[in-house]
Amino acid sequence: MGEGGDRPRAGRGGRAPVRAGHPHRHHRAQGRRAGAQGERGALQGHLRGRPHRRGPRWPAFLLSRGRQALPQGQPRPLRDARLLRGGAALHDHPDVTHPEDLEKSRARMERLFEEGGSKYTLEKRYVRSDGRVVWAMLNVSLVRDADGNPHHFVSQFQEVTERRALEDRLRHQALHDPLTGLPNRGLFVDRLGHALGKTRRQKGLKVAVLFMDLDNFKGVNDSLGHDAGDLLLTVVAQRLGRSLRPEDTLARFGGDEFVVLLQDVEAADEAVRVAERIADGFRSPFRLDGRELYARVSTGIAMGDARTKTPEDLLRDADTAMYRAKEAGGGYEMFDPAMHQRALGRLELENDLRRAVEEDEFAVHYQPIVNLQTGELWGMEALVRWDHPERGLLDPDEFVPVAEESGLVVPMGELVLEEACRRAVVWQRELPRTPPLAVSVNLSGRQLRRPDLQDVIRRALEESGLSASSLGLDITETVYIGAMDANTAALDRIKALGVRVSLDDFGSGYSSLSYLKRLPADILKVDKSFTKGLGLEAEDTAIVQTVVDLAHILGMEVVAEGVEVDVQETLLREMGCDFGQGYHFSRPLPPEGALEFLNSAYRGVAHRGNLDGLSDSS
């Protein structure tokens, strides 16, 4: 196709190169006397001098859908002896070239003249007559005459729209998370690298990285299935995005890890405000296929500036701070260098825990639970301790979070359950009474999600000979609400064995009347934070009284945790609270000390306070 009125002749394969009239001879002489710039001017002068008899006739693939289009991948030659409209060749014509590619295309043509070249290749976009944008591979050759002067162009078009679309999809897939559509680790690290480079060019500029991990996500996955887990990740990504600025980068690194890049940050307070905004966004439940799920996020914050060596260094610091936040029960933590040492200590602790499980280094201590209305001992709560070969006896707060994250809490919890059942049978035989002494054992979220949990409990009862009615299993409110539907089903299966179920730390999480109505529990254990304020804070006293009354209406008994002084015991008894537990009665005791306590209690010796003579290595 071309100008000048010459009709196209069919070429090979039915393709029709379009020819234009040749330049006038006197312009060749003019071109021979010019240099590179002169050659271009001569060619332009000649081509502009040729009268136009009709408008440009475009390649078929630029026509509307109603006209014949060039098949994908089929080259289309075009001979063009004319630079139209002020120097634009057909393949660069502004009527069809995409506006964003026009400057690039013209610059490439300029180089052809300035460098004395003969051809170039370029991929560019064209706009069809129906408005559709198409991509073409353009091969342009500048043909010179016998004297070396520019004579005409031969342009070859090959539509590559489908290939470009495929490449774009592959490029997007390589740099984005397929589930949420967010940038992945590779793209995030690249952007972080550019942001750190900017801090080196602009004095005082900082960046912040927020590394986030969902709490109890594995519980959702294990109990509700991976489809529900994927749906939760999708809505979490959407909610996180609403807490950020358009210029911030939110990425998913895999699993339940999300990372945010804040650029052009002046102070750490800005990053803290974002972390708080994110936490506020998680206070309302997520709705998944008719279910309501509460999710919390632990966030680590690390600040970077011109001194930060690599993106990986900053990510490592934020990750370390995130683990510290998780150990502290959620929320956010700002990185400080001392965390590196703690992270190494955590890794060593996890390795020691694995050995402890294999070599049975755990000990079980027992804390009495007293009937507040009669003053009699009702039962014992089994609490795990770790007799570390180098560090001595460790409290649960020092190792249980690591055990939970690593999954070691499952075999550890099974050991505690088996030991508590065996110990309770020994005490019941040595000190028979009616009703028999009860024992309570804590269940972690990971244990509750085990599909074989019912079999594990049944086996512990059968091997020890303990009656199911003498065993109680405690789960925390936070664990229960994390995946309420699945946990309710799991607790129903446990109760079918005949064991008691207690909701521990009630009031520390997202307490709700709707949850209590559905909760398959026998006992509510009021969190010690409320017990502590009894007699001191009117609000705490009112809350505890309300919980006691509500539990009784729902057919549940109440245990008040953290009872430490006489006035608390007295107020709880007057409120009608059923049981009390805390240092006012006894610290957690090793088996020998617990047996001594039992003997004293059953002989009628006062067991409230004054127990310093009992062995206690906790």
Same domain for 401 and 537? yes
Same domain for 523 and 557? yes
Same domain for 135 and 185? no
Q: Check: CB of residue 499 under 8 Å from CB of residue 443.
A: no
Residues 71-97: b if buried by 16+ CB within 10 A, e if exposed: eeeeebbbbbbbbbeebbbbbbbeebb
Same domain for 551 and 455? yes
Same domain for 316 and 392? no
Q: What is the pLDDT of residue 508?
A: 66
DSSP lists the bridge partners of residue 394 as 386
Q: What is the pLDDT of residue 190?
A: 94
Q: What is the pLDDT of residue 437?
A: 94
Q: Cα torsion at 200, 201, 204, 208 (round to 10°)?
A: -60
**Model's pTM, two decimal places?**
0.56
Q: Cα torsion at 429, 430, 432, 437 (round to 10°)?
A: -80
Q: Can you tell me the distance from the alpha carbon of 180 to that of 171, in angstroms, rounded to the nearest whole number?
A: 16
Q: Is residue 1 part of a domain?
A: no
Q: What is the pLDDT of residue 495?
A: 94
Q: Can you tell me the distance from the alpha carbon of 110 to that of 94, in angstroms, rounded to the nearest whole number?
A: 16
Q: Can you tell me the distance from the alpha carbon of 131 to that of 16, in angstroms, rounded to the nearest whole number?
A: 24
The whole domain housing 468 covers: 348-603
Angle at 418 between CA 412 and CA 420, to 5 degrees: 100
Q: How many domains does the chain have?
A: 3
Q: Can you tell me the distance from the alpha carbon of 560 to that of 507, in angstroms, rounded to the nearest whole number?
A: 11
Same domain for 250 and 396? no
Which regions of the chain are under pLDDT 50? Answer: 1-58, 64-87, 605-618
Instruction: Please write down the HEC assignment for all residues of 329-384.
Output: CCEEEECCCHHHHHHHHHHHHHHHHHHHHHHCCEEEEEEEEEECCCCCEEEEEEEE
Q: Is residue 48 part of a domain?
A: no
Same domain for 518 and 580? yes
Segment 480-528, tens digit of pLDDT: 877 777 888 899 999 999 999 999 988 765 555 667 778 899 999 998 9
Segment 556-600, tens digit of pLDDT: 999 999 999 999 999 999 999 999 999 999 999 999 999 999 988
Q: Is residue 6 part of a domain?
A: no
Give the pair of three-digit tokens for residue 385: 């301790």
Q: What is the pLDDT of residue 90?
A: 63
Q: What is the pLDDT of residue 404?
A: 87
Same domain for 423 and 565? yes
Q: Is residue 422 part of a domain?
A: yes
Q: Is residue 32 part of a domain?
A: no
Residue 464, number of CB atoms within 10 A of its CB: 19
Segment 397-453, tens digit of pLDDT: 889 988 988 889 999 999 999 999 999 999 999 999 888 999 999 999 889 988 899
